[in-house]
Amino acid sequence: MATRETRCCVVGGGPAGLMTGYLLARAGVDVVVLEKHGDFLRDFRGDTVHPSTLDIMDQLGLIDRFLTLPHQKVARLSAQFGDERVRIADFSHLPVREKYIALMPQWDFLNFLAEEGERYPGFRLFMETRATGLVEEDGTVVGVRTQGPGEAEGEVRADLVIGADGRGSTLRDDAGLETIDAGAPMDALWFRLPHLPQDSEETMGRFGAGTLLVLLYRGDYWQCAYVIPKGEFESLKAGGLEAFRKTIAAASPFEPARMDSIRGWDDVNLLTVRVDRLKQWYRPGFLAIGDAAHAMSPIGGVGVNLAVQDAVAAANRLARPLDARTVSLADLSAVQRRREFPTRVTQRLQLVMQNRIVAPTLRTRAAPKPPLPVRLMQRFPTLQRIPARILGLGVRRERVADYIVRAER
């Protein structure tokens, strides 16, 4: 059995895990990141990089290289309720350099972070390496058991294990941490439709009679999310693929023939929506962040950006104690205190939108009208800056600590 030792073992090579690993390594901390897959090439992951994350890349001096990656810019968000089109958010007034959402394949984002991390001698990324459980001594987590390529077993011993292994986290379950489930009345089906030259390039949501379709412009295709009531995917499949194509055609602005690009149910990916959070994010030797600590609704596309904000807060607080090998429960508690408030507020806003806008839309038989707050935004466009601020920068904006920004390679 191979045993590796490090100051911090980060489990999960998503945005939370790789950003944490990168920041700690930049601060001079020896860190191991474990990713169970052999690459990052998985479609329909969160691809919205918000201004808050772009600002962090700017602080770190990475923004110019980062923006050479393929992406589309969304400076404003719109929606259509029945036949009425409305503007929801205008990011052009945000106090940051990049005043837009960047739609970028998540694998490009993650590969970029991995490559930047490898510039530091303390950064080690192990692909195809799964954390199968926590290693404990006298009630304290001291590492993880691993399974690597060829089913080889091993251990990574660490002063701190950070669980960033997503909403299906095995580590948070192994740690025995209690979850608070806020509930979600919906699921989402992700699929692609071709983008043709005559199409607009506007990212928007379309609210119809019993339907909600989100269209994200991705260059040569539309990334689409069709929202359905919780648990109804199997009954929808039982109705047949052709019926599904007709439903999407009716909900979209496109000609029915374009739906033929949905060739089978393998082209449709189910996202089971969850909104939950841990009551306590930590225990001795262990901390959960990102989706492992709080699963978010896809509303607003904020999951990636909250994960990155968690990573910044964790690195800011923990890099020096990790370097000195003095990480305490007070340090772990401080990370939760810093990030729990924005998590709770964001989830509350998502639940309000789910319960007061999305769920009624899915039940209605008539074309919906824009809610009062949306109508007010059309009359007073300045109000569009409020959702832009919340979506773009978050409830509590994190900035990378100066000592990490100034760290030399």
Give per-residue pLDDT as tens, 226-267. 999 999 999 999 999 999 999 999 999 999 999 999 999 999
Region 367-373: mean pLDDT is 91
Residue 333 has pLDDT above 80, yes or no: yes
What is the tens place of the pLDDT at every residue in 83-135?
A: 899 999 999 999 999 999 999 999 999 999 999 999 999 999 999 999 999 99
pLDDT digits over 256-301, tens only? Answer: 999 999 999 999 999 999 999 999 999 999 999 999 999 999 888 8
Q: What is the pLDDT of residue 165?
A: 95
Q: Specify the pLDDT at position 1.
A: 64
Q: What was the pLDDT predicted at 47? A: 87
The beta strand positions in 104-181, using DSSP E, are: 123-126, 130-137, 140-147, 153-163, 179-181
User: Tens of pLDDT along 142-158?
Assistant: 999 999 987 789 999 99
DSSP annotation of 317 reads H
Q: Does pLDDT of 364 surpass 90?
A: no
Task: Kindly indicate the confidence band of residue 408, based on its pLDDT and cuts at 50, 70 and 90.
Answer: low
Averaged confidence pLDDT in the chain: 94
pLDDT at 206: 96
pLDDT at 398: 97
| 371 close to 357: Cβ distance less than 8 angstroms | yes
Buried b (16+ CB within 10 A) or exposed e, 261-278: ebeeeeebbbbebbbbbb
Q: Which DSSP symbol is given to 224? A: E
40 or 24: which carries more pLDDT confidence? 24
191-210: average pLDDT: 94
Q: Tell me how far apart the alpha carbons of residues 385 and 376 are, in angstroms, rounded to a whole number.
A: 12
pLDDT in tens, 389-402: 999 999 999 999 99
Q: Which residue, chain included where needed, has tokens 């991995």?
A: 114
List C-alpha distances in Å: 199 to 40, 119, 219, 222, 252: 30, 42, 11, 10, 12
Give φ, ψ of 291 to 5 degrees.
-60, -25
Greater model confidence, 359 or 21: 21
331 with 160: CB under 8 angstroms?
no
Six-digit token string for 368:
């919906």
As a whole number of angstroms, the distance between CA 276 and CA 207 comes to 26
Res. 409: pLDDT tops 60: no
- CA gap 165, 187 in Å, rounded: 21
Maximum distance among all Cα pairs of the chain, rounded to whole angstroms: 67
CA distances from residue 304 to 41, 57, 267 in whole angstroms, order as listed:
16, 14, 23
What pLDDT, on the 0 to 100 scale, is given for residue 43?
Answer: 67
- Ramachandran quadrant class, 131 (left: phi over 0; alpha: psi -120 to 50; beta: rest): beta
> What confidence score (pLDDT) does residue 42 get?
74
Which pLDDT score is estimated for 41?
Answer: 80
C-beta of residue 158 within 8 angstroms of C-beta of residue 143: yes
